């Protein structure tokens, strides 16, 4: 019998409105800033379509049946082309594509009467009926029905501030939160779920944002609701784990390399970080320099150049550029938000042109010089012939335009930074976690895995030991959901203060108590790009084929009791279970077949390792391994045996079973 494989849909269309964002860019919106990390965790790639200007053309070029679902999220009701919008949502329903409507509908404005017949018909197809009457008097409200999962991170008690009347009429959909409005005949159904079909969460009941400090929290449980409406039985490309261990990567922005250290005023911050952190821990680290700060022709000295050369000679240091003059805004004409953030109050009104951290006499921002020439300077002046720059670490607001990113990609470099992801005592929510990347034209800008010490020290104003709180972030993103890797991301100026250096050492010491798989930053970028490119095909029940996954070597299955059948699977080297999820480890072949079974395997497999395992072969009761370790090698097998070795590449490593 012929097998008919079907591709697992991973692309989710997000409709957004540029009327709601300062920078007229989707990355300023709530979905990207506060929600996308959860969708990424569930395996989805979000494709943003601006509802007013892009939707019509997009609909003509793309078939909605090829997508996993559609999400709409609006704060306002300013959609201009209402008919196009309604037609699009109707096609979503006709094709049985899951639809998530959160926040406002977008058309509750002067178009409501004009398009009433079309709107009523759309709502009817969703088993809804609405008058869209708005009430904002909390004295009129009473909770009639409240199911689990509607108060995930924040309660609604004493926060019922606004309700819009809408009612569920369908037999298959279920109301999860219903609010009685005094004087209204029927209650307002503000959270509704129809499994694998439709989810609705009214504005104010999906995410809470504190109006004073802008800290937000989920009200609904996004893991539960998104999983229910989109389905959660498919395999998920996972960027947090490699061969059973949590991915950890370490990268340093070049700022402050030449600053005098208060710890020892005869030394620079760069010297302190090199001796007290890099040499002490010997972990794979991607270290960058701002070339105008190092170059003796600008702000540097012969000493700073020699120190950079010494640092880059270490085999566990990967070389990166942090640009030439450290642009704070990557726009040639900075917007109001960047001007307020980076220009002194006294100069805001008269400021013109780009904003640079390092004021080089006579220099105006030039993307080629910031990217290409900064890399050329490092390669030609600071490195030996057998070593080259591998990464460009974005500076300032980390919002480079496509033309700058293209220069990096054409150099064959990885590029990283942005996101400022955090989940700690101050930002105690999954909404503080960033997406994996920002789509800029045809390119991906991969975000860092965690916020750096500049964020935790209030832009280096203190407390200078504030970075210690990133440990809470690492803990919160590991359980109950391993949603982020570990990323120790900081600047050389952390070597200035006694307390900042002490915090950094405490963070490193804690990380070394964890089961980690240390990568260079360029390798993590490859993992994320593998998430974007990976294709998953369902061959038949419990049989999946993975291709185009690159260095992404972990596929996760949530809420399953099954495990790999190693005799039927191909390119599967191991597995382990965490948080009720099965993590399957892959080798380096172009195609992987994962066949799951409810039978316990008798095969010996890799449960955990701190290395990249490319291949495992078992023959005559011996295991042969090939791969690479960025730290001294450790491999734990399912039979309890532990293999240890040196860092570096290993081929045909033989282990008696």
Least confident range of 97-111, 257-271, 375-389? 97-111
Q: Is the pLDDT of residue 23 over 80?
A: no
pLDDT tens string 475-502: 999 999 999 999 999 999 999 999 999 9
Least confident range of 58-62, 414-418, 493-497? 58-62
For 361, the enclosing helix (H) or strand (E) is none
Q: Quick one: tokens of 577?
A: 């279970």
Q: Is the pLDDT of residue 2 over 50?
A: no
The percentage of the chain sitting over the pLDDT mark of 90, rounded to a whole number, equals 91
Grade residue 336 by pLDDT with cuts at 50, 70 and 90: confident
User: What 3-state class would DSSP assign to 293?
Assistant: helix
pLDDT tens string 491-531: 999 999 999 999 999 999 999 999 999 999 999 999 999 99
Q: Is the pLDDT of residue 310 over 60?
A: yes
Residue 350 confidence (pLDDT)? 80
Nearest to 528 by CA among 448, 446, 449, 443: 446
CA separation, residue 488 to residues 337, 366, 451, 562 (Å): 28, 30, 8, 34
Q: What is the distance between the alpha carbons of residues 305 and 310, in angstroms, rounded to a whole number?
A: 9
> DSSP states of 465-512 as a string?
TGGGGHHHHHHHTTSS---S-EEEEEEGGGGS-HHHHHHHHHHHHHHT
Q: Is the pLDDT of residue 3 over 90?
A: no
Residue 136 confidence (pLDDT)? 95
Query: Quick check: 97 and 69 in contact, CB under 8 A?
Result: yes
The domains of the chain, with CATH numbers, are: 6-237 (3.40.50), 246-330+365-524 (3.20.110.20), 528-656 (no CATH)
The percentage of the chain sitting over the pLDDT mark of 70, rounded to a whole number, equals 99
pLDDT tens string 145-157: 999 999 999 999 9
Give the global pTM. Answer: 0.97
Higher per-residue pLDDT: 343 or 21: 343
Residues 6 or more apart whose Cβ sits within 8 Å of residue 79: 17, 51, 52, 85, 106, 107, 109, 111
Grade residue 113 by pLDDT with cuts at 50, 70 and 90: confident
């Amino acid at each position: 019998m012929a097998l008919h494989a079907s591709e697992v849909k991973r692309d989710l269309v997000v409709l957004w409105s540029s009327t709601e964002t300062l920078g007229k860019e989707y990355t300023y919106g709530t979905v990207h800033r506060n929600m996308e990390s959860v969708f990424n965790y569930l395996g989805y790639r979000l494709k943003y379509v601006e509802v007013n200007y892009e939707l019509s053309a997009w609909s003509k070029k793309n078939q909605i049946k090829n997508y996993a679902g559609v999400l709409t999220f609006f704060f306002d009701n300013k959609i201009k082309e209402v008919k196009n919008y309604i037609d699009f949502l109707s096609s979503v329903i006709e094709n049985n594509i899951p639809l998530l409507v959160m926040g406002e509908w977008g058309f509750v404005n002067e178009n409501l009467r004009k398009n009433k017949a079309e709107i009523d018909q759309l709502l009817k197809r969703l088993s809804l009926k609405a008058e869209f009457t708005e009430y904002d008097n909390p004295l009129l409200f009473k909770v009639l029905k409240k199911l689990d999962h509607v108060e995930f991170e924040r309660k609604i008690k004493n926060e019922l501030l606004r309700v819009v009347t809408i009612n569920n009429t369908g037999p298959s959909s279920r109301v999860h939160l219903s609010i009685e409005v005094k004087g209204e005949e029927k209650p307002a159904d503000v959270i509704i779920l129809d499994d694998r079909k439709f989810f609705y969460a009214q504005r104010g009941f999906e995410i809470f944002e504190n109006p004073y400090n802008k800290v937000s929290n989920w009200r609904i449980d996004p893991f539960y609701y998104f999983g229910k409406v989109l389905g959660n039985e498919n395999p998920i490309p996972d960027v947090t784990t490699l061969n059973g261990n949590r991915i950890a990567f370490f990268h340093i922005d070049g700022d402050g390399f030449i600053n005098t250290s208060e710890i020892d005023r005869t030394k620079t911050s760069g010297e302190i970080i090199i001796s007290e952190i890099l040499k002490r821990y010997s972990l794979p680290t991607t270290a960058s320099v701002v070339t105008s700060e190092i170059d003796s022709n600008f702000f540097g000295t012969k000493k700073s150049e020699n120190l950079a050369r010494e640092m880059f000679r270490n085999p566990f240091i990967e070389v990166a550029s942090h640009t030439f003059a450290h642009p704070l805004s990557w726009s040639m004409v900075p917007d109001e938000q960047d001007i307020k953030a980076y220009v002194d109050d006294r100069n805001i009104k008269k400021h013109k042109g780009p904003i640079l951290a390092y004021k080089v006499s006579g220099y105006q921002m030039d993307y080629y010089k910031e990217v290409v020439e900064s890399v050329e300077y490092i390669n030609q002046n600071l490195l030996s012939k057998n070593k080259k720059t591998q990464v460009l670490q974005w500076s300032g607001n980390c919002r480079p335009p496509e033309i700058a990113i293209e220069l990096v990609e054409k150099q064959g470099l990885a590029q990283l930074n942005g996101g400022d992801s955090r989940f700690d005592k101050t930002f105690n929510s999954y909404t503080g976690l960033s997406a994996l990347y920002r789509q800029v034209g045809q390119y991906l800008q991969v975000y860092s895995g965690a916020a750096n010490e500049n964020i935790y020290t209030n832009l280096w104003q203190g407390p200078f030991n504030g970075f210690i709180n990133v440990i809470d972030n690492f803990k919160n993103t590991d359980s109950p959901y391993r949603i982020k890797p570990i990323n120790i991301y900081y600047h050389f100026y952390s070597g200035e203060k006694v307390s900042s250096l002490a915090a950094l050492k405490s963070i490193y010491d804690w990380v070394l108590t964890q089961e980690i798989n240390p990568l260079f930053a360029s390798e993590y970028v490859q993992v994320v790009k593998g998430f974007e490119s990976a294709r998953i095909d369902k061959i038949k029940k419990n049989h999946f084929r993975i291709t185009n996954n690159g260095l992404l070597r972990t596929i996760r299955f949530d809420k399953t009791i099954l495990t790999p059948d190693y005799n039927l699977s191909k390119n599967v080297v191991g597995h382990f279970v965490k948080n009720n999820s099965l993590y399957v480890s892959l080798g380096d072949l172009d195609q992987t077949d994962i066949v799951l079974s409810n039978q316990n395997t008798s095969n010996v497999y890799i449960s955990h390792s701190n290395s990249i395992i490319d291949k495992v072969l078992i023959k005559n009761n011996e295991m042969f391994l090939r791969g690479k370790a960025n730290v001294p090698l450790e491999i734990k097998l399912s039979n309890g045996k532990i293999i240890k070795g040196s860092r570096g590449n290993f081929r045909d490593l033989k282990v008696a079973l």
